[in-house]
Amino acid sequence: MVSVSSVDNVGLNTQGKIQQVTILGATGTIGTQTLDVISQHPDRFGVFALTASTSVQGLFDLCVKYKPLYAVMLSPTAASALEAQLKNAGIATTVLQGEDALSQVASHPDVDVVMAAIVGAAGLHPAMAAAKTGKRILLANKETLVMAGSLFMQAVIDGGATLLPIDSEHNAIFQVMPYQRTRILADMGVKRILLTASGGPFRNATIEQLRNVTRAQALNHPNWVMGPKITIDSATMMNKGLEVIEAHWLFNATSSQIEVVVHPQSVIHSMVEYNDGSVLAQLGNPDMRTPIAYGLGYPDRLVSGVSSLDLLKIGRLDFCAPDQNMFPCLRLAYEALDAGGTAPAILNAANEVAVEAFLADQIKFMQIPALIESVLSTSDIEAVTSIPQLVDVDAVARRVARDWLTASIDTH
Ligand code: NAD
Ligand code: MG
């Protein structure tokens, strides 16, 4: 196993030169917050490329404001529509289209920094392209590590890339474990990682209530404003499960070294316990502009626009253990990590199908873990060998998940 080794490269190309940034998933919540931080530092950052799946108006507005060299839309019709609108508005941005174009703008020689903020497995290829070409990668797309952790980490090392975690918990861990390189945790005197979780909107619900929660209730996260997929993942606690797997790859941690602690206020973003009894934590308001600014500026600290933490107003910080019965997704993620090989990729694919189905009102909330468990238990787990293999595994798991959906929708 490898770890975030290439942080050693940080700072090499930051001497006065404007850093050219590609934002994958620019219209999303992470994408727009990244642009917000960048716009506070025009002396440091330029916008090279912005990408989105289908939101023409969203990407058009961003092109008008930030005037990137390139804009990429996943869908060809969306790309044509954007091109026409930009031409009318007299904006000189070049519009590209399709999956390959995402990788092109992530690996272009003129790009220094890539914010990987596409949601889901779709983020894998462009993140790999950025890794292979030695970019500074600000990784928000945790699904890349869940699907292909070993291959992605190796690509980071081989490509001489710099990997900075943006997920708030992993960014916090990175901040309090500064000497982490290729070493194993025990050699650095680390006892365990305490990954904090808000517990989501259903922290205090009963299992009966959980069975009947609506889409709107699940989308109403108490602390964070996020895209719909990660918001549902937070409600099921699959998000924390994916983050356990993410921490495993980023920090060379075994599953038994990663403990989830529910902390409803989301003020402590995670902690590291050392052998001498010290526990180091990173605190701040729940605002993703802090980890984004940290990733953009590292090793410098940049103004992010985040307000000061008012501990007196917050008054208290609470902690409790997660309830594995209420949130089986967390258990499923630990089991997939322990099973190893392609199991986390299968977990991820089944979860994406389940979340889409829940958002489309096709299944109930507690059917999300039922679907994932069924797909995992009927799939063969193999050793990971290549990205094309993982793409196949992902497609097969989605097919099995859709068959489960068809059968379950028929019987209800
Ligand atoms: P979002 O839904 O708000 O935005 C997703 C972006 O990806 C959009 O720009 C969309 O156009 C693009 N996209 C979607 N599907 C695509 C596809 N198939 N191909 C190309 N582009 C596609 O999502 P978000 O909340 O910004 O989250 C993005 C990533 O960051 C996720 O992996 C999420 O887990 C992670 N993350 C988000 C937060 C947060 O606070 N939002 C925190 C930690 C980690
Ligand atoms: Mg997180």
378-395 in b/e form (b: 16+ CB < 10 A) is ebebeebeebebbbebbe
CA 168 to chain centre: 9
Query: Residue 147 class from Cβ within 10 Å (0-12 exposed, 13-18 middle, 19+ buried)?
Result: buried
Q: Does position 31 have pLDDT exceeding 90, yes or no?
A: yes
Distance CA 239, CA 230 (A): 7
Cα angle, residue 189 at apex, residues 188 and 192 outer, rounded to 5°? 105
State the distance from the centre of ligand 2 to the C-alpha of 15, rounded, in angstroms. 31
Q: What are phi and psi of 221, to 5 degrees?
A: -75, 135
| 254 within 8 A of 240, measured Cβ to Cβ | no
Please give the number of the atom of ligand 1 that sits closest to the Cα of 122.
18
- Is the minimum distance from the CB of 117 to ligand 1 under 6 angstroms? yes
For residue 362, give Cα distances in angstroms to 175, 378, 409.
Answer: 41, 22, 7
Ligand at shortest distance from the CA of 226: 1
CA 237 to chain centre: 14
Q: What are phi and psi of 269, to 5 degrees?
A: -90, -10
pLDDT digits (tens, 9 = 90+) for 110-152: 999 999 999 999 999 999 999 999 999 999 999 999 999 999 9
Give the total residue count for the chain.
Answer: 412
Q: Does position 230 have pLDDT exceeding 70, yes or no?
A: yes
- Within a 10 A sphere around the Cβ of 321, how many other Cβ atoms? 9
- Residue the block writes with tokens 């719909």: 228
State the distance from the centre of ligand 2 to the C-alpha of 230, rounded, in angstroms. 9
Q: Does position 223 have pLDDT exceeding 90, yes or no?
A: no
In terms of pTM, does the model score above 0.85?
A: yes
Distance CA 32, CA 34 (A): 5
- Is the minimum distance from the CB of 122 to ligand 1 under 6 angstroms? yes
How do beta strands 94-97 and 113-116 pair?
Answer: unpaired
Q: Does position 327 have pLDDT exceeding 50, yes or no?
A: yes
Residue nearest to atom 40 of ligand 1 (CA): 226
Distance CA 257, CA 23 (A): 33
Domains parsed from the chain with CATH numbers: 19-167 (3.40.50.720), 175-284+307-314 (no CATH), 328-411 (1.10.1740.10)
- Is the minimum distance from the CB of 375 to ligand 1 under 6 angstroms? no
Residue nearest to atom 18 of ligand 1 (CA): 122
Distance CA 108, CA 104 (A): 6
pLDDT digits (tens, 9 = 90+) for 35-73: 999 999 999 999 999 999 999 999 999 999 999 999 999
- Is the minimum distance from the CB of 26 to ligand 1 under 6 angstroms? yes
Record the tokens describing residue 255, joined without a space. Answer: 């599953």
Distance CA 288, CA 205 (A): 27
Q: Taking all residues of the chain, what is their mean pLDDT, rounded to a whole number?
A: 94
Query: pLDDT > 70: what percent of the chain?
Result: 94
| 173 within 8 A of 261, measured Cβ to Cβ | no
How do beta strands 268-274 and 279-283 pair?
Answer: antiparallel
Distance CA 374, CA 405 (A): 11
- Is the minimum distance from the CB of 53 to ligand 1 under 6 angstroms? yes
DSSP structure string for 212-235: T--HHHHT--SS----HHHHHHHH
Record the tokens describing residue 21, joined without a space. Answer: 């940034």
- Is the minimum distance from the CB of 226 to ligand 1 under 6 angstroms? yes
Q: Does position 5 have pLDDT exceeding 50, yes or no?
A: no
Ligand at shortest distance from the CA of 97: 1
Distance CA 203, CA 344 (A): 25
Q: pLDDT at position 8, please?
A: 37
Q: pLDDT at position 179, please?
A: 60
pLDDT digits (tens, 9 = 90+) for 110-121: 999 999 999 999
